[in-house]
Amino acid sequence: MRATILNCTLKPSPEPSNTDALAELVAAGLRELGADVRTIRLVDHDIKPGVSSDMGDGDEWPGIREKILNSEILIMASPTWVGHPSSIAQRAIERMDAMLSETGDDGTPVAYNRVAGVVVTGNEDGAHHVISEINGALGDIGFTIPGQAWVYWNMGPGPGPSYSDTDHGHQYVHQVAGLMAKNLYAVAAALRDRPIPAEIPRGED
């Protein structure tokens, strides 16, 4: 099983990223289950605005798209800015919009039979909404969202510390990140064994 994590932090490498630190817990859980996991920090790449799979002229999205489509598991990892997914996360989602009209060999949309989950950090409230926003978009495109396939960290009320600044809640997120890895892996495996068919035979049960 292969997993791609898109780290949607606003901070370019080599700045430390809280989002990366939290996503690494999920990556570790997936690796323990036998998955290959790679992480791409999107802000380090030139991803052009637009809604096609290739916007030409230095656009680095095509290579990232290929990695997504070589994986059974997609994880969007985003900071919370003003209560929303980051502009980098939204940029990636806009580019994935093109997948709506792209189909694989069996005629189903390319995102079918892939699963997705969300990792969210923040120095303030907003994570559940970020999860709903990203999953809403990915479900639209065709990804399946396993139950409880997310992990988040923040500490309210009001602006507070970042994930890496404190130990508060770390035990909780370790546990939830492990659960997320398990659920992503299990549903990806179920869909590998019994994929959504192009057509379902009628009258079956």
Closest distance between its own copies and the C-beta of residue 99, in Å?
10
Residues 6+ apart with CB under 8 A from 58: 46, 48
Q: Which is nearer to its own copies, 5 or 35 (CB)?
A: 35
Q: How far is CA 96 from the centre of its chain?
A: 12
Q: Which is nearer to its own copies, 12 or 62 (CB)?
A: 12
Q: Using the CB atoms, write b or e for 32-51: b if 16+ within 10 Å.
A: ebebebebbbbbeeebeebe
Closest distance between its own copies and the C-beta of residue 151, in Å?
8
Q: Which is nearer to its own copies, 67 or 169 (CB)?
A: 169
| DSSP structural state of residue 44 | G
- E strand or H helix at 173: helix 170-193
Closest distance between its own copies and the C-beta of residue 67, in Å?
18
Closest distance between its own copies and the C-beta of residue 5, in Å?
18
